[in-house]
A and B are shown apart, each in its own frame.
Chain A
Amino acid sequence: MKTRLFLIVLLTVLLGACSSTGGSKQQPSASVDDRSGAGDNGDVNTYGAGEGSGAGMSELDDPNSPLSTRIIYFEYDSSDIQERYRDVVEAHANYLVNNPNVVVALEGHADERGSREYNLALGERRALAVKRQMTLLGAAASQVRTVSYGEERPVESGHDDYSWGQNRRVELVY
């Protein structure tokens, strides 16, 4: 209960900070506990509130806009952007061109098959492929951050073609 209250307060503070600066560079922090071999050093939990959305994001919320598509899926061991996502990438690139203060994070992911470190590299390659496309279409490189989670953050936990297809993706996070 206390944590939740703390989160709400933190969220409010963060949102306030965002709307006054027009865009957020706050990183959500993960909670981390270190423990020594000899015992617990105590819980050092810090909680972030997630990225607050900046001002003027309403266009992004229009369900009929290609901007509402925030996930781009990939083929196995491939970072090629499929034809059907061309409009989506273009719409997001245009949005960035028209909103030069906006920054988007591209989170690259892989399915669980094969080795984890290779998949981390694969997730990055996918994120970079989308970034390259966006910058070719005029977005500034500084507006596009990339991060790879490899196979560490699946959305589907099954071990089948459907789940793998859902997990091979780049998520666009504003």
Chain B
Amino acid sequence: MTMRSLLILLLALYIGPLFAADELEIIIDRGVENTLPIAIVPFNWSGAPEMPPVEFALTIGNDLQRSGRFAVMEEADLPQRPVQFQEVNFRDWRLLGMENIVLGALKALPDGTFEVEFRLIDVYRGAQIAGFRIPATAKQIRRTAHRISDIIFERLTGIRGAFDTRIAYVTVRNNDDGSKRYQMQIADADGFNSQVLMESSEPLMSPAWSPDGRQLAYVSFESRNSSIFIQDIITGERTRVAGFSGINSAPAWSPDGTRLAMTLSREGDPEIYIMHLATRNLERLTHDRGIDTEPAWSPDGQKIAFTSDRGGNPQIYEMSTNGGRTERLTFVGVYNARPRYSPDGNSMSLVHGQDNTYRIGILDFRTSDITLLTGARLDESPSFAPNGSMIMYATTGRQGSELAAVSADGSVHQRLALQVGEVREPAWGPFPPEMP
């Protein structure tokens, strides 16, 4: 990562429309090998003399760079700035070893909407791989940039892109009088467009997306004890689904969205339950005197993994959602907690503690090995992107907790620093429904 590209990344945050005060700042702080070279030519802007509402080339370039699979050419190094396919001088690009280029144009229409056009070009074949014209409202325009990133990513890697997705997270601010302000926020996966879903003077925890991305379950201490709420993201309407005596925590949606796994200690000690959301009926899954918590559903909905200290220290166990035998999954180290299955079900992210450091690890089910992806002292709350390519987590920064992300192979690391206060417990949302 050179200083200049860092500067460009930082500049990207100050160009464009006015944002809410607390945007996340993205800093990519480790270089990458074996990446696909790509150049994104600044999109031609035909509209009013003011700046375009979104700097497409920068937004797309940041997306692709963050994935760890691309090396995006710096704008100053571009040999030419073609807008149309026939303007491309393929020889120049081939000489620079550039394999793919992206061209595009953004047009402001009289009715206040926009039209975005882009082409993905294979330099060596001298051919267009993809070309789209997408209408967008002012509100959708940044999403459109992420959709283009998704198309490019999928065409060139064969993997569905997850740039047009959202994250939920908790922020904490200290008030002048010593009290705290907790917020449940959602934002685009690159940290932009943050919105406050809920605000409280008491702690908020454990955001969990419904599989359709329309609802968020979370834990709130607003009644001076933990309770689980489900909130509609569009309307803001919310319901308390669990407010029993003892702890009510760790909500996790079943992949079909009909059930919510959770931890309740209403019967004395923390146990895993499954709530059928239509009836609110509870089914108790674990029966053990130790701590059982942090349930996670396998992608096929057949199994639940959870953290338990039944063996003397926290380790990860798995059982069928129909009950039955419990199997221990982790054997390396004295602290393995907070499991999350990868979307393909072949591995699991977890928090691995050893010698006073807590890092994000990946447990590979085929080898039973744990690979550590992060190297800070107090990392927690890993959450997979819906395409499994990246993991977002919370780490300790200068102002307390901040968000970070790592590619699933551990090669690219980045931090998303909120400018004021702490930000923690990232939860990566599902793929969005197709835009019209």
Residues of B near any A CB (own CB < 8 A): 186, 195-203, 205-206, 220-226, 231-238, 246-247, 249-250, 263, 265, 269-270, 291, 293-294, 307, 309, 313-314, 335, 337-338, 351, 353, 356, 358, 377-378, 380-381, 396, 400, 425
Are the C-beta atoms of B307 and A30 separated by less than 8 Å? no
Which residues on the B side are within 8 Å of A32 (C-beta)? 198-201, 220, 222
A113 touches B353 (CB 8 A): yes
6 new A-B contacts at CB < 8 Å, known A116-B206, A118-B307: A33-B200, A37-B195, A37-B235, A38-B236, A41-B236, A118-B291
Q: Is the CB of B236 within 8 A of A121?
A: no
Q: Complex formed: what's the CA distance from A159 to B201 in Å? A: 23
A149 to B220, CA, bound (A): 11
Q: Which of A27, A28, A34 lies in contact with B198, CB distance below 8 A?
A: A34
CB contacts (< 8 Å) of B337 on chain A: these are: 114-115, 118
The answer on a CB contact under 8 Å between B353 and A35 is no
Which one of B201, B224, B238, B351 lies within 8 Å of A27 (CB-CB)? B224
Please, could you name 18 A-B residue pairs with CB atoms under 8 Å apart, sorted by A?
A32-B200, A32-B201, A34-B198, A35-B196, A36-B232, A36-B236, A37-B236, A38-B234, A113-B378, A114-B335, A114-B358, A115-B314, A117-B249, A117-B294, A118-B314, A118-B337, A124-B246, A157-B400
Query: Cα distance A28–B396 when bound, in Å?
Result: 32
User: Residue of A at shortest CB range from B205?
Assistant: A116
Residues of A within 8 A of B377 (CB): 159
Contact-size category for A: 35 or more
Contact (Cβ within 8 A) B263 A115 = no
Contacts of B235 in A (CB 8 A): 36-38
Nearest Cβ in chain A — how far from B35, in angstroms?
32
**Which residues A34-90 have CB closer than 8 A to chain B?**
34-38, 41, 77
- Whether A148 lies near B351 (C-beta < 8 A) is no
| A binding-site residues for B, Cβ under 8 Å | 27-38, 41, 77, 112-118, 120-122, 124-125, 146-150, 152-153, 157, 159
Question: Which residue of the partner chain A has the closest CB to B312?
Answer: A77
- Complex Cα spacing A113 to B237, Å: 34
* CB neighbours of B205 from chain A (8 A): 116-117, 120, 150, 152
Q: When A116-B381, A121-B247 are in contact, do A30 and B358 touch as well, CB less than 8 Å?
A: no
Query: With the chains together, A28 CA to B223 CA distance in Å?
Result: 8
- Which B residues are in CB contact (< 8 Å) with A118? 291, 293-294, 307, 309, 314, 337-338
Q: Which residue of A lies closest to B238 (CB)?
A: A34
Q: Which one, B199, B224, B231, B358, contacts A33 given CB within 8 A?
A: B199
The reply to whether A37 and B199 contact each other, CB–CB distance below 8 Å, is no
Which residues on B sit within 8 Å (CB–CB) of A77?
A: 313-314
Alpha-carbon separation in the docked complex, A118 to B294 (Å):
7
**Whole-angstrom distance between the Cβ of A3 and the nearest chain B Cβ:** 11
Determine how close the nearest CB of chain A comes to the CB of B125; give it in whole angstroms.
44
Q: Specify which of A37, A117, A120, A122 is in contact with B234 (CB 8 Å cutoff).
A: A37
Contact of B265 among A35, A121, A150 (CB under 8 A): A121
In the bound complex, what is the Cα–Cα distance between A113 and B334 (angstroms)?
13
Q: Looking at the assembled complex, report how far the CB atom of B251 sits from the nearest CB atom of chain A, in whole angstroms.
A: 10
Q: Cα distance A41–B378 when bound, in Å?
A: 36
Write out the residue numbers on chain B whose beta carbons fall within 8 Å of the beta carbon of A29.
222-224
Complex contact B224–A35 (CB within 8 A):
no
Identify which of B265, B313, B400 contacts A124 (C-beta below 8 A): B265
**Residue with the greatest number of chain B CB neighbours at <10 A, chosen from A36, A118, A124, A157:** A118
Ranked nearest first, the 5 interchain pairs of A and B with the lowest CB-CB distance are: A36-B236, A152-B203, A30-B202, A115-B338, A33-B199
Q: Is the CB of B291 within 8 A of A121?
A: yes
Contacts of A121 on B, CB cut-off 8 Å?
A: 247, 249, 263, 265, 270, 291, 293
